[in-house]
Amino acid sequence: MIGIVDYEAGNLRSVETAMKHLGADFFISRNPEELLKADRMIFPGVGEAKSSMEVLERTGLDKAVREFADSGKPMLGICLGCQIFFEHSEERDTECLGIIPGRVKEFSADMGLKVPHMGWNQVRHEGRHPVFEGIKEESSFYFVHSFYPSAPKEFEIGSTEYGIGFTSAASKDNVVATQFHPEKSGEVGLKLITNFINWKI
Amino acid sequence: MLEKRIIICLDVRDGKTTKGVKFKGNVDIGDPVEMAAEYYTQGVDELVFYDITASSEKRGIMIDVVERVAEQIFIPFCVGGGIATTADMRAVLLAGAEKISVNSQAVKNPAIIEEGAGLFGRQCIVLGMDAAADRNMPSGYRVVINGGRTPTELDALEWALRAEKLGAGEIVLNSIDADGTQDGYEINATRMISEAVGIPVVASGGAGTSGHLKDVLTEGKADAALIASMVHFGGYTVGGIKEYLNKENVPVRIL
C-alpha cells in the first residue's frame, strides 16, 4: 500500500488520478501514524517552501517523513516535495528536511529567463536509477517551478538545462525525488511512477 | 532546453466542443473528453478548455467535463470562461485542472489575479487577454472583453505588465483580428508583450499552417502556440506539426 502525504500543499488530485489510472493500491492521509504503516510513500506538493515546512512541523508530518526515509522503504518526492527533501531552500530562507544532501536555489532574473520555468524540458538521466528504466535518454518531462535543486554529483540522477544545468532528479538510498511532475508528463511520466511502484531496493 | 509548447484550445458550450470564426457562428464539433484523449495520444503538450456556456445554470456541466478529462489525460490543462471568484477557481482546480484562465472578469476586477495567485500559486493563474489593433492606443493594441464585443480603455501592453505584477503566471494573448481566420498569428503584438514581461506568453488566434506556428515561436518570441481550427477540422495532426517544427529547428517535445 502506497501512502500519499496530504500536507495542504497544492492539489493532490493529479497524483491521485494518475495512481487510479495505474491501478495502484494507495491511500491519501495527513495522519503520521497511518502513513508510517505504508510500504511506499509519495510526497507531492505545489506551493511555497516556508509555509509548507510550517505545516509539516505543526502536524508532526516532518518527523513522520524523516522516519519513513530512515526506514529504508521506497519514497518519492515530487516538485515542492522534492525541494523539501533537500537541506535548505532560498525560498524565504527555509530549513528543509535534509533527507538528501543539496540546496534549492532561485532562478536569477539576470539570467534573462522567464520564471517560472514552465513547460516540457529534457532530463539527462544516463540510466543512473531504476526509476528511469525503459525511459529514453533526454525524454521530456513537465516542469513548473521558480526554484531549482542543486545536489552533489553522487546524489544527482537526472539533470536539466534552463539557463544553467540543475538537478532535476536526485536519490539517496531508498529516497528518490523529481523536480518535474511525472504525473503530468504523459506516458513517460506514468512509466516513471510505475517504475517507482515496482522499485525493489 | 525548454521546449516550445503546442496547446490545443477547446471551446466548450453546454458540454460540447464548438468553434466559431471571430467569436461568431459557432458549430458543435464533438465531445471535449474524447477530443482531449485523442490529442493527448497525438502528443499535444497542454490543453485549454474555455467554457462559453451562455447560461449560468449549465456551468456544472463544465466541472463534470473537467473531472472526466483529468481521469484520461496526464498532461497539464487549463480551464477558463466565466471564472469570477476564487471559489470558481477552487472548484476547477479540485476537479483536476492545473491552471485557471481569467479574462473579462480580471479586467472588471483585477484583484482576482492577486487573490488567486495568493491562494493557489501564481503558476495556476493565467491571464487571457483579447487584443485588437488600435492605433489610438500607446502600444497599438486595445484590450477587448466579452468575447471581443466590448472595447475597454486598457492598453494591451500596460495590462499585460500590470497582470504580471498582480501575480499572473502566464499570459495567453489572443488576437481578435486573427482569431479563426487561419491567416497567421499577430506576430507584432506577441513579440512586444513577450519581450516586455518575465512570464511565459502563449500566442493565440490565427493559426492555419505549421509555418504560422514557426513564425510566432521564433520571430514572435512566443513560449507556446495555441491552435484550434487547424487540428479540429482534420487538416493537421499534432505529430505532423511537431515534425515540421523539429525540422525547422524549433525545439518541441517529440513522443
| pLDDT (tens digit per residue) in B78-129 | 999 989 999 999 999 989 999 999 999 999 999 999 999 988 888 999 999 9
Mean pLDDT of all residues belonging to chain B: 92
Q: Kindly state whether residue B80 falls inside one of the protein's structural domains.
A: yes
From the list A114, A142, A187, the residue facing B76 with the nearest CB is A142
Number of domains present in the structure of chain B: 1
pLDDT for B56 beyond 70: no
Kindly report which listed range (A4-13, A182-191, B26-35, B204-213) carries the lowest average pLDDT score: A4-13
Q: Kindly state whether residue B255 falls inside one of the protein's structural domains.
A: no
Confidence band of B179 (pLDDT split at 50, 70, 90): confident
Nearest to A201 by CA among A72, A34, A11, A22: A72
Q: Which domain holds residue B164?
A: 5-247
Confidence band of A44 (pLDDT split at 50, 70, 90): very high
**The residue to which cell 503546442 is assigned:** B6
Whether residues B93 and A120 touch (CB distance < 8 A) is answered with: no
Alpha carbons A52 and A55: distance in angstroms, whole number = 5
Which region, left, alpha or beta, applies to residue B148 given φ > 0 means left and ψ of -120 to 50 means alpha? left
CA distances from A177 to A5, A45, A77, A168, B161 (A): 14, 12, 4, 8, 35
Name the catalytic one among B130, B155, B215, B223. Answer: B130
pLDDT for B70 beyond 60: yes
Q: Kindly state whether residue B182 falls inside one of the protein's structural domains.
A: yes
**The residue to which cell 480603455 is assigned:** B153
Whether residues A13 and B253 touch (CB distance < 8 A) is answered with: no
CATH number, position B47: 3.20.20.70
- Structural domains for chain A: 2-198 (3.40.50.880)
Chains A and B: how many Cβ contacts under 8 Å? Answer: 90
Residue B31 appears among annotated catalytic residues: no
User: What is the interface pTM, i.e. ipTM, of the complex?
Assistant: 0.93
pLDDT for B23 beyond 60: no
Minimal C-alpha gap between B223 and chain A (Å): 9
Name every chain A residue with its beta carbon within 8 A of the beta carbon of B196.
Answer: none
Cβ-based neighbour number of residue B77 at 10 Å: 23
Helix, strand, coil: what percent of chain B each, to 5? Answer: 40, 30, 35
Minimal C-alpha gap between B4 and chain A (Å): 8
pLDDT tens by residue, A78-117:
999 999 999 999 999 999 999 999 999 999 878 889 999 9
Query: What is the percent of chain B where pLDDT is above 70?
Result: 95
Helix (H, G, I), strand (E, B) or coil at B239: helix
Cell, residue A52? 509548507
Q: Kindly state whether residue B254 falls inside one of the protein's structural domains.
A: no
Cell, residue B104? 473579462
From the list A17, A114, A187, the residue facing B71 with the nearest CB is A17
Q: Kindly state whether residue B167 falls inside one of the protein's structural domains.
A: yes
Residue A79 appears among annotated catalytic residues: yes
Cβ-based neighbour number of residue B10 at 10 Å: 26
Q: Kindly state whether residue B25 falls inside one of the protein's structural domains.
A: yes
Looking at residue B28, its pLDDT comes to 82
Q: Kindly state whether residue B253 falls inside one of the protein's structural domains.
A: no
Residue A57 touches chain B, beta carbons under 8 Å: no
